[in-house]
Amino acid sequence: MSTGCGQGVAWCSADGQPGGMSQNWGVRGAVSRREAAAVMGERALRTALDAGTLTQPWRGVVVRTADLGDVRTRAEAAVLFVGHPVVISGPTALALHGCAAVSDTGPVHVTVPYSRSARSRRGLVRHQNRYEAGDVVEIGGLPVFALDLAVSEQLCDGDKRVAFGCLDEVLRRHDDPETFRSAVRERLAARDDRRHVARALALTELATGRADSPPESSLLMIVVEAGFPVPEAQFPVQTVDGRLLYVLDLAWESWRIALEYDGYDAHEGRAAYDAERDRRLSGRGWQVIRARAQDLRDPSRVLGELERAFNDRSR
């Protein structure tokens, strides 16, 4: 590709200086240092690196510093640095598949065959594993583990809350969620490493695909792992004539206990509305417990309130 300032790179100004990069960069988010020097000139490249306009995340790879927050740019840089054969894996693969439950600001995860070195670097985690061509899909020109494989991998090897949130999210948006669930089961059954597979299968069955957000998925997993009965997600509360009044995040209908997650964005400035809603639900026999972001980090308060509620309703 040519831009009038050199061959192969579309991110410099016409005179070879880095001043025009912000307009044209993005056609390719990462390039080799050799390619950058050939286009810009070594002096201009060093000037941009010294000024912080450009960055070398790993030796021999150059990206625009402003693009380091973009997961695709970092993934492209990782593939360029590691070289083929390589595939984007782990939470990075899930981020590239669009899963909101996983952070896209962490290190880039890649997997290479056993025949290659697995040495990691700062900001880059290398794994070794066997994989077939059918395990890999292309996203924006990058080799990425297929979504069912990426989810199963994360369920076994990653943060289980993040993994469960991703699975729930994928089931919610998938055209055929049960087919996807079956595909994850098959991936888990085929794993060579059997550690955590039983847990992953249990989480695969628990996911409903009805949670409105990853925190709601986390709440479901937290209460079930704490030993409470499995609640129903997105439970509708209706009038006697079938008119929908409310939808509860998690509900135990037999006990008339509800667990609601108050996300900051959704509930900012809604304290009065939520209190009135809870009062009306109480009038219909419901006991509502509310959870916030801090309760996901330390769920002891919520679990204690739930235990008291179940004890009260079981008398």
Q: Where are the domains of the chain?
A: 18-57, 72-206, 214-313
pLDDT tens profile 184-225: 999 999 999 999 999 999 999 999 999 999 999 999 999 999
Question: What strands lie across the sheet with 108-112, from one edge to the other?
Answer: 124-128, 108-112, 87-88, 142-145, 136-139
Sorting pLDDT into bands at 50, 70 and 90, what band is 264? low
145: β partners? 136
pTM: 0.85
Alpha carbon of residue 133 to chain centroid:
24
Give pLDDT, residue 230.
Answer: 97
**Which fold is adopted by the domain 214-313?**
Endonuclease; Chain A (3.40.960)
Q: In which residue are the tokens 């299968």 written?
A: 201
Phi, psi of 247 (to 5 degrees): -125, 120
Contacts of 181 (CB under 8 A, 6+ apart): 171, 204, 207
What is the signed CA dihedral for 187, 193, 198, 201, rounded to 10 degrees?
-20
Alpha carbon of residue 142 to chain centroid:
18
H/E stretch holding 290 reads: strand 287-291
- Residue 1, pLDDT > 80, answer no
Sorting pLDDT into bands at 50, 70 and 90, what band is 272? confident
142: β partners? 139
